[in-house]
């Protein structure tokens, strides 16, 4: 009874993903809370914050929102068993993730070249910690989605319980996107 196995395993897998996301919400929630508290208490960060490139941040926001759409389209393609389409959307999601990291590396290179390091002030410490941790999570999502893409190309994504992994990867990827939706206005626009 393959269907029974998949049904029994899928809810516990989804619960595991939600528990993981909840723990990561706590991490980012604490960092964002500390950032807001320090910014309100100490002020004077406007001069430091004015040096971030909000245009690149906005482009990265568009990139991540688009990648969430391609992740939804990949999951939908898996559900209706459109295998090539699922693989294609997984690949696009991976490429958009790499695009995000590429743009972020251009930002870091420029900011570090201008002398803005984590030691340059409290704003820069928070900026590098929060965007760096987020970038690490994007990299994790890229690896996860790249693995799913490879299994889709090999044709093994649809055997057994593996198709639900696209849903789990999508939940994680959307979490990464939502975190950026909070970081962008806090770090680039406030």
* pLDDT given at position 8: 43
Q: What is the predicted pLDDT for the residue at 35?
A: 95
Ranges in the chain, pLDDT < 50? 1-9
Contact 130, 97 (CB under 8 A): no
CATH no., domain 2-189: 1.20.120.80
Q: What separation in angstroms does the CA of 21 have from each of 15, 34, 122, 166?
A: 10, 20, 27, 16
149: nearest Cα among 93, 111, 110, 101: 93
Angle between helices 122-154 and 164-184 (to 10 degrees): 160
User: Can you give the pLDDT at residue 45?
Assistant: 86
CA distance 49 to 31: 17
Q: Domain map of the chain by residue range?
A: 2-189
Tens digit of each residue's pLDDT (9 = 90 or more) over 55-106: 999 999 999 999 999 999 999 999 888 889 999 999 999 999 999 999 999 9
């Amino acid at each position: 009874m393959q269907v029974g196995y998949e049904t029994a395993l899928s809810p516990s897998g989804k619960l595991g993903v939600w528990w993981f996301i909840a723990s990561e919400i706590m991490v980012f929630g604490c960092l964002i809370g500390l950032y807001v508290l320090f910014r309100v208490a100490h002020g004077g960060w406007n001069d430091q914050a004015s040096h971030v490139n909000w245009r690149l941040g906005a482009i990265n926001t568009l990139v991540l929102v688009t990648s969430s759409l391609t992740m939804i389209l990949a999951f939908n393609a898996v559900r209706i068993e459109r295998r090539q389409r699922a693989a294609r959307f997984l690949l696009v999601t991976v490429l958009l993730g790499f695009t995000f990291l590429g743009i972020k590396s251009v930002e870091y290179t420029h900011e570090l070249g201008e002398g803005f390091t984590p030691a340059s002030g409290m704003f820069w410490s928070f900026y590098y910690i929060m965007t760096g941790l987020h970038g690490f999570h994007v990299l994790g999502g890229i690896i996860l989605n790249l693995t799913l893409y490879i299994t889709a190309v090999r044709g093994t994504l649809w055997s057994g319980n593996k198709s639900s992994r696209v849903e789990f990867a999508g939940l994680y990827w959307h979490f990464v996107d939502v975190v950026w939706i909070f970081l962008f206005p806090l770090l680039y626009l406030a």
